[in-house]
Structure 1
Amino acid sequence: MQKQSKVWGGNSAAAAASLVERVKSLDRSSELKKQYTPIVIQPHVVGAAQNRLISTLLECNSTQHGGSVFFQDRIPNSRGEYVDVLRFTIDQAIVRGEEKTVDGHISNRSNEELLSCELDSLTDFLIRREIIADRHADLYPLRPLERLKDIDDERPTLALVNRNVAPYLGMDSLGVHLHCYQKEGPIIKLWLAKRAPTKSHHANMLDPNVTKEAYEEAGVPSEWIRKANPKFSDLTHDPITINTSKADGSCMKHSIYYSCDLEVPRSWRPRAVDGEVEEFLSYTMNELEHELRYGTAVRPSMVAVLVDFMIRHGQLKMGNDDEEILRKAMRNERLSLF
């Protein structure tokens, strides 16, 4: 299939030439901050809901106790200022030490299980309201968001939530990307995956090769993805961190993108195994830079991921862009709402 590139920002090349501008446009958190209310599981902030969604969330009833899953509250933050928040009704009972009852019977389930059940009720509710299409097979851990700089798995898991619901709760979004590239002298070509048209988000748009299931999705031999392989580089210690949202301002969250690079043989071709990828396209660095500056074939957040790849390999013609400013624009702290 021939590669096509639509012009970003109109027909003016000058409007799209600054990669700093383009990367910074991914983060609208300053503009959207007032449109969001923190979600609290005492004493932790776990996410944020867009204000226009709150009235809908308050209509969600629990399958455990029959009452509302959420209620609105006003509590002091760390600075002693009272802030409007959204809380789980069952969490209020847990904090007060009240008996945990389900259908009139005392429950011996953990707080994590009780909260996970509430989020399961929310999943069904959002499907009925057609806010999400269906359930995803993956469950995400709901964790505190207070730690702004440390990105790790040491934070306690408070509950489990369906992957399709997580963006509407403002939870951290994690992505791991494997950049499969081929090198011939100074020339580098990068394989990009075109998402299948059946994907619910950004269908038919381009991604770096996904590593979560590298073999299933791209046919990458598992033995290549080893730290002992000199052609494999693990860059997960330096993730890209951006506060992202949908075009309409919904689903604002802290997006964390981990990257790995893998130099593959020039004779190797990726293959779409499990249907999540329609096809793979090979880009030279000149073609990729033109797409990142002027095109719309690459899904928005992946612009930053690919710019970072080009910087690492010394392949980006900076022009008016300052590399240090660009790197900082791709590594923002989580927005604090509480």
Structure 2
Amino acid sequence: MVISSGNSGKLAPIQFMACKSLVAHRFHNFSIVSSLYNASKISRTTYPMLSTFRPAVTRSISVAAGNFSWDDVVHISLPSSFQDDPSDLTGYFEKVKLCNRGSDTQSEFLPFVIDDLIVGYVHHGFAKHLKQYPNVFIFPRDDCGQFGAYLTLHESLKTPEDRTHAVGDVVKCLGKEVIPGTRNELYPVTSSFGASNFFSLERAAAPYFGIKVYGVHMNGYVEKEGEKFLWVAKRSQTKPTFPGMLDHLVAGGLPQGIPCGENVMKECEEEAGIPRSISKGAIPVGAISYTDIKGFSYKRDVQFCYDLKLPESFIPENQDGEVEGFMLLLVTNVANVIRRTQLFKPNCTLVIIDFLFRHGYINPESSGYLELLQSLRSGTCF
């Protein structure tokens, strides 16, 4: 296994010997990974080991999301660490469920309609804030029509530019108390992927308006001695969302005006220091989708998936400060972490599960195979 620090300025791989625990290990260059390794900070949140293979055995993993070390990750990943069945898909189903919550609360949301097309969904509670701006938002009711009560934009806002400015001003006025995590990054508001852009919306506000959001996730893998390894990233503790959790080598939202392939290469450079001469080899392999409803938030996300086979000699190095470090793990060990814990950013687990299907790590002999495969696209992809 190899660890790479996020912003050390040096390419200094740390090699580990294979064993059941890293407690007795000594880092070859501890100073480089000292910010990544701190076993004293493990919290005592427990994640149950779910397995239908050995139901009489109770196992738990005492690490908390965002507050764990690479030592913990490696120990959890080892096949011998816990008595569970790799072919049991229960842990994967749980990760899909985490990304698809709240379907029973859909009735609490109004359709957001523009030009007779639904572009999003807004919770009644959030709609109360928008009613303060009648020159921007109106709330018609047509009991004979297809929408019933719904939200739309004022008829005076006719162009994408006018709508973008007007809605953007409302988002600013509502402030972080209502819409936290403003990023000054605009997402297109459309009825479907590739359709006309009605206007552009601040990224942080997207789930509050229930618009469909698209992103790119890339599995960076290495092949050596007949086995495949995945590079795994650990998010910076300063990230506004899912700080300190495990992530893909490269992932990011799809902002307005950037094609998917171009966005992958941009993110490769920023997040992992992968030059375009290498990242241009990233292969589009499909998409996953999910619908996650929680409180006023209605996430309708689609993630375009990419695979990139990397040279054995390549060591990623973060450039934008958003990644704490990287680790290279056997694909089967990454699968163990996903099945056994909630240490990965939730939507990343779906993309990696998709990778496991495509590369033959999950097979039709496993009970629930087709159901799990279908569940990776629980949201509408178009």
Relative distance call for 1:224 and 1:53 in structure 2 (3 A) is same
| 2:316 is aligned with 1:243 | no
TM-score (norm 2): 0.69
Check the 8 A contact 1:139/1:163 in 2, yes or no. yes
Change (3 A) 1:133 1:225: closer
Instruction: Determine if the alignment matches structure 1 residue 42 to structure 2 residue 115.
Output: yes
Task: Give unpaired runs (5+ residues) of structure 1.
Answer: 62-66, 95-109, 146-151
User: Could you tell me how far 1:81 is from its partner in structure 2?
Assistant: 4.6
User: How far did residue 200 of structure 1 move?
Assistant: 1.1
Distance 1:10 1:279, change over 3 A: closer
Following superposition of structure 1 onto structure 2, how do residues 4-43 of structure 1 map, counting pairs within 5 Å? 10-14=47-51, 17-43=90-116
Partner of residue 185 from structure 1, selected from 225, 242, 255: 225
2:23 — aligned with what? none
Please point out which of 332, 335, 345 is paired with 1:286.
Answer: 332
Q: Is the 8 A contact 1:46 1:143 kept in 2?
A: yes
Q: Does 1:234 align with 2:259?
A: no
Q: Do structure 1's residue 175 and structure 2's residue 221 form an aligned pair? A: no
Q: Confirm or deny: 8 A CA contact 2:125 2:296 kept in the other structure.
A: no
Residue in structure 2 matched with residue 157 of structure 1 by the alignment:
197
Which residue of the partner structure matches residue 124 of structure 1?
172
2:128 alignment counterpart? 55
- Cα-to-partner distance string for 1:180-216 (whole Å, 9 max, x where unaligned): 1111133211111211122111111121122342112
Letter in 2 for 1:286: T
Structure 2 vs 1, CA of residues 21 and 295 (structure 1 numbering), >3 Å: closer, same or farther? closer
2:50 maps to a residue whose letter is A
What secondary structure sits across from 1:165 in the alignment? Answer: helix
Find 1:258's aligned residue among 295, 304, 307.
304
Q: Is the 8 A contact 1:6 1:295 kept in 2?
A: no
Q: What is the CA–CA distance in structure 1 between the aligned matches of 2:335 and 2:244, rounded to whole Å?
A: 20
Question: 1: distance between equivalents of 2:319 and 2:104?
Answer: 41
- CA change 1:24–1:201 in 2 (3 A) is same
Which runs of at least 4 in structure 1 moved beyond 6 Å after TM superposition? 3-9
**Selected match of 1:86 from 151, 155, 160:** 151
TM-superposition CA deviations, 1:160-195 (whole Å, max 9, x none): 111111121111121111211111133211111211
| Alpha-carbon contact 1:187-1:284 (below 8 Å) kept | yes
Counterpart Cα distance in 2 of 1:318 and 1:287 = 20
1:216 maps onto 2:270 in alignment: yes
Task: Call closer, same or farther: CA 1:31–1:221 in 2, change over 3 Å.
Answer: same
Q: What is the CA-CA distance between 1:275 and the residue it aligns to?
A: 0.6
Summarize the Cα distance change of 1:13–1:24 in structure 2 as closer, same or farther, 3 Å threshold: closer
Residue of structure 1 equivalent to 2:139: 72
Among 239, 245, 252, the alignment partner of 1:199 is 239
Q: What letter is aligned with 1:144?
A: S
Percent of paired sites with the same residue: 25
Which residue number in structure 1 is paired with residue 63 of structure 2? none
Corresponding letter in the other structure for 1:43: D
User: Conserved in 2, the CA contact under 8 Å of 1:6 and 1:297?
Assistant: no
- Which residue number in structure 2 is paired with residue 99 of structure 1? none
Number of residue pairs the alignment of both structures matches: 295
Question: Tell me, what secondary structure is at the counterpart of 1:266?
Answer: coil
Q: Deviations over 1:34-65 (max 9, x none)?
A: 12111112322111112221112222x3xxxx
> What residue is the counterpart of 2:344 in the other structure?
298
CA RMSD for the aligned pairs?
2.9
1:135-166 Cα distance to aligned partner (Å, 9 max, x none): x2321111125xxxxxx31x111111111111
Alpha-carbon distance between aligned partners in 1 of 2:381 and 2:128, rounded to the nearest angstrom: 23
Q: Deviations over 1:97-146 (max 9, x none)?
A: xxxxxxxxxxxxx6212211111112212325342243x2321111125x
Counterpart amino acid of residue 203 in structure 2: R
**How far apart, CA to CA, are the structure 1 residues paired with 2:203 and 2:176?**
17
Q: Is the 8 A contact 1:7 1:294 kept in 2?
A: no
Task: Provide the rounded CA distance (Å) in 2 between the counterparts of 1:271 and 1:172.
Answer: 31
Partner AA of 1:69 in structure 2: V
One-letter amino acid of the counterpart of residue 275, structure 1: G
Does the alignment pair 1:331 with 2:377? yes
Task: Give 1:333 shift.
Answer: 4.2
TM-score (norm 1): 0.78
Q: Please state how far the C-alpha of 1:291 moved relative to its aligned partner.
A: 1.2
